[in-house]
């Protein structure tokens, strides 16, 4: 792999960077000056705005997408003795929350084309102990919602959509979150819309909103006379007004952000040289929000050397994700190498290229030029 021939230092192009405008920064200052900086009117306004995007469905904001998944599983009645089916190719939080509620994660290999959970194998993995399905929209590409919910209906299962990466994406013209069962979003700093840290849970009609709110904050139920009770175990999962102010500012630009990401992805497809041997992601420009752009390196490539060479070019490279069943915690639960060959193949070859709304077309060209130098045969 070759190095940048120039001796001049290059500014580092990260894999992502949030776009926060001055109006949003000023709004955070207003919250600080108001004296009400934890959950309050801004959180309520943020939830209302999210609900509008999600077709009027009830939405509650949380301090992380991980918390929304945990609470969704608890609200779905998942607990010890139950199984939850998910994918090995995701951030480990997806499976960790299954363990957190006392259930057993059952992992199913991915479809090598979409890199999402293989729905045919998913149905085959259902047992009498299966209580819920927990699919992941990898890189913002939605899992086939029609097939997913047909399977769930046949087997009378709850669905908790890990849509952490797909806020702003859609399925056949319907915004992710506007349809389905439980839908979990993340607003982490690297997401298409950020609150710094945060998340939101879209709730189905049969779930008690009050119970969700108690699960979110220590199980506390308050009465008008100042007394309180705790009737369920809750966490400390509430979002702050400071974070909600950032989210409200981000929402003003959501469509703009999504369109820019799609334009940058199109440029990657046009500019990456086919001779480099990269396997490009599915070219979905109607449903996907292009949270990440993830080609696969040629089989047998030294990914560590590639990352180092791109860093010398001033280009940040990510890896999303190592298959979680190969982590020590999950090996200890009985998972093993070779169990999910498609996920392991993608996990070993995947790299994440820079992609964020503030990037210029020239930034994409710079990445592609660096790819050509680094992977030159």
191 tagged catalytic? yes
Shared domain for 240 and 308, answered yes or no, is no
pLDDT value, residue 20 = 98
- The number of domains in the chain is 2
Shared domain for 260 and 194, answered yes or no, is no
Q: What is the pTM of this model?
A: 0.96
Q: Which of 201, 224, 251 is the last residue of a domain?
A: 251
pLDDT value, residue 2 = 47
Q: What is the residue-level pLDDT of the chain in tens, covering all 377 positions?
A: 445 555 566 789 999 999 999 999 999 999 999 999 999 999 999 999 999 999 999 999 999 999 999 999 999 999 999 999 999 999 999 999 999 999 999 999 999 999 999 999 999 999 999 999 999 999 999 999 999 999 999 999 999 999 999 999 999 999 999 999 999 999 999 999 999 999 999 999 999 999 999 999 999 999 999 999 999 999 999 999 999 999 999 999 999 999 999 999 999 999 999 999 999 999 999 999 999 999 999 999 999 999 999 999 999 999 999 999 999 999 999 999 999 999 999 999 999 999 999 999 999 999 999 999 999 84
- By three-state DSSP, how is residue 240 classified? coil
Shared domain for 33 and 139, answered yes or no, is yes
Shared domain for 258 and 191, answered yes or no, is no
Shared domain for 240 and 269, answered yes or no, is no
| 42, 172, 191, 221: the active-site residue | 191
Instruction: Look up the CATH number of the domain holding residue 367.
Output: 3.90.1150.10
Range of the domain at 199: 22-251
Domain assignment of residue 93, yes or no: yes
Which pairs with CB-CB distance under 8 Å and at least 24 residues apart come from 31-36?
A: 31/241, 31/242, 31/245, 32/242, 34/241, 36/241
Shared domain for 200 and 275, answered yes or no, is no
Tokens (6 digits) for 144: 């086939």
User: Can you tell me the distance from the alpha carbon of 110 to that of 340, in angstroms, rounded to the nearest whole number?
Assistant: 8
Domain assignment of residue 48, yes or no: yes
Shared domain for 236 and 297, answered yes or no, is no
CB 79 within 8 A of CB 103: yes
Shared domain for 129 and 154, answered yes or no, is yes
Domain assignment of residue 13, yes or no: no
pLDDT value, residue 8 = 61
Shared domain for 195 and 260, answered yes or no, is no
Alpha helices in 59-136 (DSSP H): 65-75, 93-100, 119-124
Q: Which of 225, 251, 277 is the last residue of a domain?
A: 251
Domain assignment of residue 7, yes or no: no
pLDDT value, residue 376 = 84
Using alpha carbons, list the distances in angstroms from residue 283 to 272, 280, 289, 295. 13, 8, 11, 11
- By three-state DSSP, how is residue 171 classified? strand
Tokens (6 digits) for 135: 């699919």
Q: Is 146 exposed, middle or buried (0-12, 13-18, 19+ CB in 10 A)?
A: exposed
């Amino acid at each position: 792999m070759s190095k940048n021939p120039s001796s001049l230092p290059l500014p580092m192009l990260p894999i992502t960077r949030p776009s926060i405008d001055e109006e949003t920064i000023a709004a955070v200052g207003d919250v600080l000056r108001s004296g009400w900086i934890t959950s309050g009117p801004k959180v309520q306004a943020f939830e209302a705005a999210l609900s509008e995007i999600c077709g009027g469905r009830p939405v509650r904001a949380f301090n992380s997408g991980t918390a929304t998944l945990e609470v969704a599983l608890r609200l779905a009645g998942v607990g010890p003795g139950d199984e939850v089916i998910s994918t090995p190719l995701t951030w480990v939080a997806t499976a960790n929350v299954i363990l957190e509620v006392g259930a057993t994660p059952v992992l199913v290999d991915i479809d090598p084309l979409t890199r999402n959970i293989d729905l045919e194998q998913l149905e085959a993995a259902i047992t009498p102990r299966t209580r819920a399905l927990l699919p992941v929209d990898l890189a913002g590409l939605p899992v086939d919602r029609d097939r997913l919910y047909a399977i769930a209906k046949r087997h009378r299962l709850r669905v908790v959509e890990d849509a952490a990466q797909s806020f702003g994406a859609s399925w056949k013209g319907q915004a992710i979150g506007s349809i389905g069962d439980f839908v979990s979003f993340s607003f982490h700093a690297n997401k298409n819309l950020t609150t710094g840290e945060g998340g939101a849970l879209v709730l189905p009609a049969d779930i008690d909103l009050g119970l969700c709110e108690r699960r979110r904050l220590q199980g506390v139920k308050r009465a008008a006379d100042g007394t309180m009770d705790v009737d369920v175990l809750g966490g400390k999962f509430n979002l702050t007004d400071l974070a909600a102010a950032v989210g409200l500012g981000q929402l003003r630009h959501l469509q703009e952000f999504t369109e820019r990401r799609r334009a940058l992805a199109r440029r990657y497809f046009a500019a990456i040289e086919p001779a480099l041997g990269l396997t490009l992601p599915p070219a979905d420009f109607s449903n996907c929000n292009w949270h990440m752009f993830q080609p696969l390196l040629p089989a047998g490539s030294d990914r560590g050397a590639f990352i180092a060479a791109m860093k010398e070019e001033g280009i940040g490279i990510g890896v999303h994700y190592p298959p979680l069943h190969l982590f020590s915690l999950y090996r200890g639960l009985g998972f093993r190498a070779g169990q999910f060959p498609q996920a392991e193949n993608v996990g070993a070859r995947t790299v994440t290229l820079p992609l964020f709304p503030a990037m210029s077309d020239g930034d994409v060209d710079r990445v592609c030029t660096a790819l050509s130098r680094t992977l030159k045969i």
